[in-house]
Structure 1
Amino acid sequence: MKSQSGIRQHALSLLFAALFLGALAGQSFAGLAAYNEEQISHGQAPATYGEFVTSSAFVVDVAENWQSEYLQFFLFIIATIWFVQKGSPESKKPGDEGTGTDEEQRVGPHARPDSPRWAGASGWRRTLYSNSLLLVMGAIFVLSWWAQSLAGLVVYNEEQAEHGQQALDWTEYVMSADFWNRTLQNWQSEFLAVGSMVVLSIYLRQRGSAESKPVGLPHRTTAIESE
């Protein structure tokens, strides 16, 4: 019973971990098939599964999706500190902009007995922990962006060599149209999705979802609150 209770308590993260791994595996097999079709059409030997999933062709596709997702989270986290959207459950209430007082955030002398240890600390430890979510999201974005740029450079230069054209160095590649075409097509879709969620959640509801206001709350109500 304890293990079942533990699974239920972590069901949301476990569900998305399973969906992520399933989608990643599906992408690897579909990508291998598409890659080998292209290899054969160019008179080259097909790759094995192991060769493909460790190739720059696979890494660049994975990394460019990851970096756009984590950029989305990074920007949304920092934007919701200072910007509000009246009526959206994705926003704080108008008037609550900013980082909040120590009392509101329950840090330092206002920390509870069961608060995280660094919430009650002082100096750099409290500052670091107070911004830890933003820092980690930003770090994952930068690392994914860097991985995308390196893998994309290899893929691009392989294509250049096939056409007898000059290879680029890293700086030239990250300034190229190919790199920014790959990057911006993902960014625009993420920004559209987040903006749509913010606005649509003002007027639409999903009963039982933490991402929605209670069905009967007025459109003007920004956060889940009693009137």
Structure 2
Amino acid sequence: MRRFIRENSLTLAFGLAFLLALVGQALAGWADFDNQLATDGLQQVGFLAYLASSDFAVDVAENWQSEYLQFFLFISATVWLVQRGSPESKELHKAGTESDAEQKAGRHADARSPHWAGVAGWRGGVYSRSLGIVMALFFLLSWLAQSIAGTAAYDERQLRALQDPIAWHQYVASADFWSRTLQNWQSEFLAVASMAILSVYLRQRGSPESKPVGAPHDATGVEG
């Protein structure tokens, strides 16, 4: 068990942090939601009712979709785009999908390679892009969930104000939907751009997201 925890500590630590943050968000969101209901003179709801509400769902989904968009775009963009001196970039001369020999794909797969890495045809092609595909799928599903939950939450506010609700396609074209969406996107893009350029000149000793402390600023694709 200790060996399992040590060898998977990064995933386990962030998985636990995610759960704790989600619980914290739920508790804080519930308190805020009930305060709004009290202000409007409406009956407050219990914690489980809040967890099943569209308000909680849209707050969670809008953050998930922006995170998965960030990873999908970063994974895909770094195939072709490079940043001189950044450990977040591949070496400048390796821009592109690289050869089968470099990727140990197809007939170049060895005994320890995943089975589909050595398979020709569509299965090998899908597996060679499976990380980006799954991240894109998670993004699209969470964005769809955001739009559906956002429509319900928006219509609930409309009804409280004695105004007509709107349909899903109207909400997707609304300022509320795009304000929620773009405020998350811009922060994700800024974070990626900052990480790419700051890691050229700054160091974090022992981190694979940083170059070794003594590595020159123009060393590219070198991890500490």
The equivalent residue for 2:53 is 55
* One-letter amino acid of the structure 1 residue matched with residue 129 of structure 2: N
Within 5 Å, which residues of 2 pair with 1:141-156? 141-156=139-154
Say which of 113, 116, 120 aligns to 1:115.
113
The equivalent residue for 1:169 is 167
The equivalent residue for 2:188 is 190
Within 5 Å, which residues of 2 pair with 1:29-44? 29-44=27-42
Within 5 Å, which residues of 2 pair with 1:64-75? 64-75=62-73
Unaligned runs of 5+ in 2: none
State the 4+ residue runs in structure 1 displaced beyond 2 angstroms: none
Unaligned runs of 5+ in 1: none
Within 5 Å, which residues of 2 pair with 1:1-227? 3-224=1-222
Report the Cα distance in structure 2 between the residues aligned to 1:187 and 1:108, rounded to whole angstroms.
37
* One-letter amino acid of the structure 2 residue matched with residue 130 of structure 1: S
Report the Cα distance in structure 2 between the residues aligned to 1:217 and 1:223, rounded to whole angstroms.
11
Deviation of residue 115 (structure 1)? Answer: 0.4
After TM superposition, the score normalised by the length of structure 2 is: 0.98
After TM superposition, the score normalised by the length of structure 1 is: 0.97
Deviation of residue 161 (structure 1)? Answer: 1.4
Same amino acid, percent of matched pairs: 56
Q: How many residues align?
A: 223
Deviation of residue 6 (structure 1)? Answer: 1.3
Deviation of residue 78 (structure 1)? Answer: 0.7
Deviation of residue 112 (structure 1)? Answer: 1.0
Deviation of residue 41 (structure 1)? Answer: 1.2
Give deviations 1:80-99, integer Å, cap 9, x for gaps. 00100000000011121100
Report the Cα distance in structure 2 between the residues aligned to 1:139 and 1:165, rounded to whole angstroms.
35
